[in-house]
Structures are given as structure tokens and as C-alpha cells.
Structure 1
């Protein structure tokens, strides 16, 4: 359910192995570091801005939150994905290093994500971004945070969000995933990992029934932005994506759900060895590029 941590030696080895499965980032994307001030608590939120080559113009933007089960993951683990999205979609991507549990209990992570989104909207001109074309998105637990940001923006009359782009989202931590009767042993292992991840989050102060923790449980999804959901067929949380898409449709929110066959949770990231992972990424880029009515650049797959 999470990306490898860089905080201990075994996890660093896992991160190195993960890196061998991921395509290298494109070289023609400018990457700059950014510090976004926390106006209410002090300190800064680290972020990276990915800008594709090409003429200066106001582009669409994605404020992106990495995965990692809320307790690990980093700007580095999502670096290649964000760079490729920026190039393929001809869009600006702002990747946010939100605070992690348990050192920073919930809702510190959500505060950082929402602050970063608001900052991007308020500084759109400086970023070369069209303020009407700002999306929020993320992967796994990052998609959870993106959905929570969208709920906050709706309920607090925040800046407009043009799109939710949710990749393999985790949207309900109130119950353990269920295994089909014929599920192989590895599926049960992933269910155990998911439950441990959910329990860790709940133990950090995240109340499972809170819609900002389990967005699928929000009383109403009316008024949320158009949504694109990308899910994996063999993911133990694929039903989160399906149920959320169903509820969005019931709320008259435009939604597209694509389920990729043969992939378990996180396998779409293995773009160096899996063509379907590259197709997954290309679809994410298409959703982002559609905001400005441009086509995905050649070489997406």
C-alpha cells in the first residue's frame, strides 16, 4: 500500500529496487525547488515545480500529492511520474512534500496539502498557470488527500478546482478490504498490509469516519469538480474507486473511471517494464491536458 521509505537501510534498498522499475524522468522538463509558507503554523512546505519545455504561456497545473500510506514517500519517489506528466500533458506539476505521520499527526498532512493548493491558486500568475485550470491529484494515500482537499475547497468556498485526478485512490479506511474466495496468498498479504496502513493512520489521530479521512463517506458529493479515477483490477482497494465513481455519478458530478487489468496496487508505477503502466500514465496525462484542450505529446506510451 505504500512506497519505500528512505528512513532506514532496508527501505533504502527497496527504494533503489523501485527505482530500477521506473522509467527515468525526461530531460527536457525544468525542475525547481519551492518553499511554500505555512501561514498558520510557521515553517515551510517543500515542493517541486515541473515545467515542460516550450513557449511561455499560461498552462494547466496539477497540484500532486505522493503516495506512501501517509507515513512514507517523498518528492523523490514521485519525481519521475511528475516529470513525465508535465511533459506529456504540457502542464505544470507542483509536487508537495506534506508532513508525514507519526511524527506529525493528522491533520498536519491535510493542512499542508490544502495550504499548497491555495498557494498555487493565489500565485498562479507567478507559476505560469491559468488559475481556472488547476487540478488536484495524487496516488494512493496521496489521492486520498487530494479528495479531502476537494471536499475542503467546496465546503470552505476555496479556490475553484478544475479536476480531481485520482490514481489508485484509498477512500475509506473504516473497514478491511475483502478477498475473493479464490484469492491467491499474495492478495491476503496485501490485505494485511492495507489494514496495517489504515490502523497506522487511525492511530495518528485520523478518525476513520471523518470524510476528510475517508472521503467516500462524505454525506454529499454534490459540487465536487469533474473527476478522473484510474484504478488497478487486482488492487485490494479497487472497490473504493468503483464506489466513489458511482456516488459521484449519483451527485451529477462528471466522472470517468478506468480500471487497468492485471495490476495490483502500485504496479502501474513500473513503467520501465510494464507497457500497461505507461498507458496508465498516458491516461493521467490526457486528463490533465484536456483541461487546456491540448493533445498529449508524442511518446506517451
Structure 2
């Protein structure tokens, strides 16, 4: 039986811990005198599995935690499938009395109301299955194409600036491990191209922050350069893929039944935590970052580049206009 325990986990919010074994060689543990390199360095092996969050993308949630409330005390606890009737109740009116207050600006509140009704949860649940299956199919296809098995197949993880998210998951661009070129696009980009996921581009995990040795402050673009930034490198390719998928009505963009509520919106509504990332409009040449609660002013998701609040002062120092939270 596979060990599904996590090598890195967050037992309580804000605390991330890891679990490890002595380094292995061909599956066998190595003696202490071999795994200790010097007085501050040891070699280890993970004790458990790693959770990986694909960078730059956001798929509809299959399950998530419902908020605490007094209006519906019988709602199930822990992670609950979005198809559960409790989600229909919640997403019909996530501002109902009995729920913890969620301070939102009037404009964002009004925008969300256009996306919330008795069918929002069912719509989200229906859109959660296809991306899940698409990723499974991509991995299975890569295993078969390389003539490998589940035991011999390997993944290549490419890291950006942030290595772990708040849940202890590795943040990566993920692809099949292949030395020969050309390699296929990472799963992140394949999913975007198929319309299976929404873009969720967070700086500095995208161009121009290419190499980790670069200082974050040096990676802040010049004010007014958003359009130029948006067309370069992997960021430009990803945005172009999303644009083509949207124009083709693929996946989540199906004009007959598009995704109503984006996954990050479901999460902040359920978590009762207002958006906290600033937003740069990649289609505009302005000199400002938008307030986190103004993301909806940018119509197309691929034109939104999110900036963590902790990095916002660096943008202000570079000359960008940054509104207070």
C-alpha cells in the first residue's frame, strides 16, 4: 500500500513541518558517517509524499472547507465536495446572517452577486471534474509515450521564487523528466492551453524573475512597462494560450456553460478572508497596482498579474503607485 503521509505538512495554520529519513542509496538507509557532510549539513530522504501546487494556474475546486456559521450548524466539517448541498446553500448567499462577516468593498460585493445563485455550486462542481481528468490523462499519456511504468516514471520540478505555499505544498512548474529536447510543455501550460484551468499569475514566480539568484527588488519591472512584460517569455506564451482557449470556447470558457465563480473567489468567500494580493493590469501601460479588491476591473484573467502584499513596498520604491490596503 502506498504511504499517503505528507513529507511536508501544516499541522496548524502558520506552522510548516517536514518528516525525513536518513538518506537512501538504492533504497537502503546510509550510515550516519555518510549522511553527515559537515557540522551544518546532512543528507536526508523524504518520509512521505510531497504535495505539489502547479504555479500559474487555478483549477475549480473539487472540495474545500465550508465556513463556520450559526445559520447552518449541521454543515459537514473538514473538506467537503463542492457537489454537497451545503455548498449550494452557501454559494447562493455567502453573505447570509450567521456567517462570519467578510469585509468587502461595495464594488467587489456587487460584482460577486452577479456570479452567485442557486446554480453556482453545481456549475463549479461540474467544472471540477474535467481538469482533474485532463491532468490524469496527461500524466498517463506521458508514462505510455516514454514506455515507462508508474514505478519508473519521473517528474521534473522547476521552482521559481517561492518554494512552498501556506499549506506546505511545493510550488512548481511540472513536466515529465526528459533529457532529450524538445521537451513537451509543462503540465501547467498544457492545462492552460486546453482551457482546463484559469490563469493565476503571481509575481515574482513568473517572468522576468527567471533565476533564483536574482534579487527580488531587481526583478520589479519599471513603471508603465506592463504591456512589454506581458508579451515576453513564458508569461507571454501562457497568456497567448489562454487567449486562444477563451476565443475557442474551450473547457472552462464554454460559452454555453462557462465557469461562474473562479476557484480563488470560492476560497476567499469560504475562508472569510478578503483578497490580499495587489494586481497589475498587463493590458495597460499605467503606473499603478490595483487594490486587491479591484481585480475584477481587469476583465480577462490572463491580464491579471498578482503581487503579494509583502512585495508591494518594492514596487512603490520602484515608482509604482500602490494604494493602501
TM-score by length of 1: 0.27
The structure number with the bigger radius of gyration is 2
TM-score by length of 2: 0.26
Structure with greater proportional helix content: 1
